[in-house]
Structure 1
Amino acid sequence: MNCKFKTLAILPYLILMLLSVGAHSQSVVESDANSGEQTVTQQLQALRKEVIALNRDLFVLEEDLLFPSSTQLVVYLSMDVGTYFNLDSVELQIDGNTVTHYLYTEKQIQALYKGGVQKLHLDNLSQGEHELTAFFIGKGPENRDYKRATSLTFNKTAEPATLELSIIDSSVKQQPVFKAVEL
């Protein structure tokens, strides 16, 4: 497995070499005015497309190696309309250890209000019982500073674990409701 990581580490350099050789070859071809120029340029474009596809495949392979499904934990964040809460940041703890602290921009907040879902955290986690705690910091009703938390105890099995944190406006309570659920 160590050999795979070494291979993955040098692949970006190989891709850059191929692209630079391709760029050099293209400049040589463009300076040559013969009729074979078009076929070499087309071959070069096809090679570039193959390198891009290879790079995408390597990214997927690297993610599979670094985060195997048997230990994978993914935490998503979603929001409702945002009438009663304006999010500034989220702090995520797993088993009492802070694993993520995320500060939001206005554009990111607007994307979440429009139904976007953010992949907040991706991690390896051993099997067994774990506790996730999320702290939401922002402005609440009447523009007051607001810091609320929600917790979820879940059992990590050999399957990948997916959790969702959601911020929902409760018109009955006229307050935001913070939830953590296992998907």
Structure 2
Amino acid sequence: MANVNTELTGRLVDAAARILVEDGPGGLSLRKVAAAAGVSTMPVYTLFGDKQGLLDAMHREGFRRLGAALAAAPRTDDALADLGALGLAYRDAALASPHLYGLMFTGGFGHTEAADATYRPLVAAVARCQAAEVFTGDDPEPVALHLWALAHGLVSLELAGKITGESYAEQLGYAGLAFLRR
């Protein structure tokens, strides 16, 4: 039964995210989500309670998917390569769930733990680069924030059709150059 609820929740969240992007916040209703997912309204109300419950679930699910993608990024003995793989995993997660990606970074949600859990791997990867003396500095936070802001901006540009995936990888590489130990 848990797998059925997980699968149904995923379908409903994805349907709601598409409606939110296509019709805006005013166009999102539990009834529309149910129709788009091909179910009655009963499971939607049972799973989410109300529209805010659905939005909260969408927000959590976006960060859950991002966290899973980051956790699946390879971890090797090469700290810099692993940092690059993390940046590519971030992009892949955003492109896999573009409708949720935009919602994840809007205000009004109290799931800071979910967001923070997806940021911590980046901080740890930068700290590994610093410990390996690949990057300068001893505080990974400002470097991680810079790299995250760049990755987020580039992904947003790619989702808007303004850049390509090749440009994303190239720009991440340029960003890393700023912190290389010379």
> What's the TM-score, normalizing by structure 2?
0.24
Q: Which has more strand, going by share of residues? A: 1
Q: Which has more helix, going by share of residues? A: 2
